Structure 1
Amino acid sequence: MLESTVKNFCINFNVASEGRTFRSGQLVSGHVSFDLSKKTKITDISMRLKGQAHIHWSTGGGKKRRKRNYSANVTYFDLKSVILQENSAIGESVKLQAGTHMYPFTCQIPQGDFPPSFKGVCGKIEYMLTVSIHRPWHMSKDFVTELNLINSINTNQPELRAPLSGSNQMTLCCLWCASPAITMTVSVEKKAFTPGETVKIICEFSNGSSRTATPKVKLLQKQTFYTHERVNRRVYDKNLASGFGQPIHAQTCDVHTEMMVLIPQSASLTISNCSILVVSYSIEVSVTVCSGPDLTVLFPIIVCDTPVHPQPPPYV
């Protein structure tokens, strides 16, 4: 069997990149190495570089509802090349001696606006490098390595660097009586952040009611999966991080406070350039009161791979 003949197979990259991270248009080079336990005939060693998105989910099932499956695929590129080939002139397989063998390879990720790598609830975007060893009269043996592709955005866009602000208010009612309003004004220093970065939220509250109000903040991720032409969709909301501020006592005005929320290092990048899979983020700031609805302000944000510096305050 090939498994017992080929041992210690490894794909080594020349670029010392943490997590095998690459970008669109980047050259991927390195070498493959493996040990043969005995003299072996090889038809060829081929390489395939493929990028694709795939989504799938099911609904229904059981006695009363027929199960329905939804799926879609998008292929961004599918490149094939040969690392080692048989002697085509005489049609003979290459005979490799027992021992260690090493072969260099080079390929290039196409230039394009490809979405970043992602694994979600109902789908994924993946970029795979597959090396296949073919032998006469044998099934090929595939060795698959996953590449982490990231896409960069133009961080000089003014809307990414500009601060975000919003406000809201509500009045609590009891029978025919209405208390003075609870108001909130919230600001975030910019719109774009990187994984591992802390978001600072500056808040101003006034609590004219007779109840204590508690501010809180959430980092929300939304995963949306579509079939082709976006005829059907499935949405998953996820709370990635949360925090609380100091309680705002009744009949208190002009309370200034700050809250922090950390974007997890493992957070995927925002995905808006895939036709069947979208990943978006938002910061939700709210005030909770006993026996009353939440007062909420929502800020859509971008999670990207390049640090974005906030817009400097205007010169006075």
Structure 2
Amino acid sequence: MPGTVKSLKVTYNPINESDTFTSGDSVSGQVALEVAKDCEVDSLLVKFKGKASVLWSERHGQVTVVYSSKDKYFSIKHYLIQDKDHNNVLPPGIHIYPFTFQIPFQEMPSSFKGSVGKIVYSLEARLSRSLRIDKTDTVKIKFVSNADMSSDPQLMEPQHETKDKKMKLFNSGMVAMDVDLEKTGFCQGEGIMVVACIQNNSSRPIKPKYCLYRKHSFFARGKRRLDTKDLLKEVGEPIPPSASEKVTRVITIPHDLEPSILNCSILKAEYRVRVNLDVKYATDPEIKFNIIILPAAQVAASAPPPAASGFGFEPSGNTSSPWGTVPAPPAAAAPQPLDPPPPYDAYGMYPTMTDSGKIF
């Protein structure tokens, strides 16, 4: 026998082609409630929240230890039907409740999903009825932190490292490399130019190898969980013995690669460029560079998003909220999608590279 409530669905309206949001944007949508017959409702609400969480377990002998941590950024509730409303009986059919939230004007990390941690921004609809289990529906939105690369000089700083190695056993002589990166910060889809001056004073040919890899770190209860993965690998032309060459390689960052996350207290998403010389019968000398990947500039849709009305829009004419009446902001104060974002250094978002300790 079918129940009284046939479906509960929460959806949102995209504001650009990439279907992303950032601080200050308005998030509008609808809650659709379909009932098969008269339905008495205690409350119907929509919640907008953002949080990070990590969770993993480790086996120590006969004991399993669970490590977990959470970091909450915001949580906003808006009641579409409240307990104090009278005669909350909905007739059969589909009932649509529009809403609008505004993402807080604060610095927050981008959406993220890793092996044991995630950063999620979501909308949740919750229907409560007397003597029944609450019915819920959730949809995630993709949040991207504001990024203004030109505002932080550190991101434009070039990087330089040298490495040499004396050959032993089945090889003789020495190899050395002097490697430069044009800068530290790169956008999604951008090319990383690696310039290397390589000296091969050994008795065998050598090959330069390049790798872009990511490093995810998760933190809980004083412990760190590390997860690394090679993303792109490239091999250069061989350099013969007793020769020196200057080689240039451009490594293109994938357009869909997640941005660096360095502004979350319980997880980090970092990137490295590794350059090494492939030497037969010897340990390969290598150099690692820290790089920061920034989100590509977002192009807003031609139609501007609707202005936020406090914490949400009440379709039934009830202008009350859990915090009292919230007046709508003036039209001039509505956020503009192409406004320049705040500079990184305003929040101390990125640590100094020399303070990051050992490079993995």
Instruction: Give the TM-score normalised by the residue count of structure 1.
Output: 0.85
Residue 35, structure 1, aligned to residue 29, structure 2: no
CA distance in 2, matches of 1:168, 1:20: 44
The residue identity in structure 1 corresponding to 2:155 is L
The residue identity in structure 2 corresponding to 1:236 is D
Partner of 1:188: 181
Q: Which has the higher contact order (CA 8 A, sep 6+)?
A: 2
Cα deviation 1:186-207 (Å, max 9, x = unaligned): 2222211223333222222111
Q: Give the % identical residues.
A: 29
Partner of 1:263: 253
Report the Cα offset of residue 265 of structure 1.
Answer: 3.1
Residue 138, structure 1, aligned to residue 129, structure 2: no
Partner of 1:281: 271
Report the Cα offset of residue 34 of structure 1.
Answer: 4.0
CA distance in 2, matches of 1:119, 1:3: 36
Residue 226, structure 1, aligned to residue 180, structure 2: no
- Relative to 1, partners in 2 of residues 1:152 and 1:12: Cα closer, same or farther, differing over 3 Å? closer
Partner of 1:313: none
Larger mean Cα displacement after TM superposition, 192-201 or 216-225:
192-201
Instruction: Give the TM-score normalised by the residue count of structure 2.
Output: 0.76
Report the Cα offset of residue 289 of structure 1.
Answer: 0.4
Report the Cα offset of residue 37 of structure 1.
Answer: 3.0
CA distance in 2, matches of 1:139, 1:17: 37
Report the Cα offset of residue 8 of structure 1.
Answer: 7.2
Gaps of 5+ in 1: 308-316
Report the Cα offset of residue 52 of structure 1.
Answer: 1.2
CA distance in 2, matches of 1:247, 1:2: 71
Q: How does 1:16-55 map to 2 (within 5 A)?
A: 16-18=15-17, 20-55=19-54
Larger mean Cα displacement after TM superposition, 103-112 or 194-203:
194-203
Cα deviation 1:95-123 (Å, max 9, x = unaligned): 22222322110122222221111111111
Report the Cα offset of residue 275 of structure 1.
Answer: 1.1
Partner of 2:300: none
Equivalent pair of 2:159/2:181 in contact (CA under 8 Å) = yes
CA distance in 1, matches of 2:292, 2:3: 45
Partner of 1:210: 203
- Relative to 1, partners in 2 of residues 1:83 and 1:167: Cα closer, same or farther, differing over 3 Å? same
Larger mean Cα displacement after TM superposition, 292-301 or 257-266:
257-266
CA distance in 1, matches of 2:282, 2:155: 35
The residue identity in structure 1 corresponding to 2:156 is R
Residue 151, structure 1, aligned to residue 145, structure 2: yes
Equivalent pair of 1:286/1:296 in contact (CA under 8 Å) = yes
- Considering fraction of residues, name the structure with more strand: 1
- Relative to 1, partners in 2 of residues 1:65 and 1:20: Cα closer, same or farther, differing over 3 Å? same
Equivalent pair of 1:168/1:185 in contact (CA under 8 Å) = yes
CA distance in 2, matches of 1:212, 1:143: 61
CA distance in 2, matches of 1:46, 1:19: 28
CA distance in 2, matches of 1:240, 1:272: 19
CA distance in 2, matches of 1:165, 1:208: 22
Cα deviation 1:75-109 (Å, max 9, x = unaligned): 11121111233563xx43x2222223221101222
Equivalent pair of 1:7/1:37 in contact (CA under 8 Å) = no
RMSD, aligned CA: 2.3
Q: How does 1:1-316 map to 2 (within 5 A)?
A: 5-7=5-7, 9-13=9-13, 15-18=14-17, 20-60=19-59, 64-85=61-82, 88=85, 91-92=86-87, 94-156=88-150, 157-174=152-169, 179-228=172-221, 231-253=222-244, 255-306=245-296
Cα deviation 1:269-302 (Å, max 9, x = unaligned): 1111111111111111111100111111211100
Equivalent pair of 1:50/1:128 in contact (CA under 8 Å) = yes
The residue identity in structure 2 corresponding to 1:248 is I
CA distance in 1, matches of 2:258, 2:232: 14
CA distance in 1, matches of 2:135, 2:2: 7
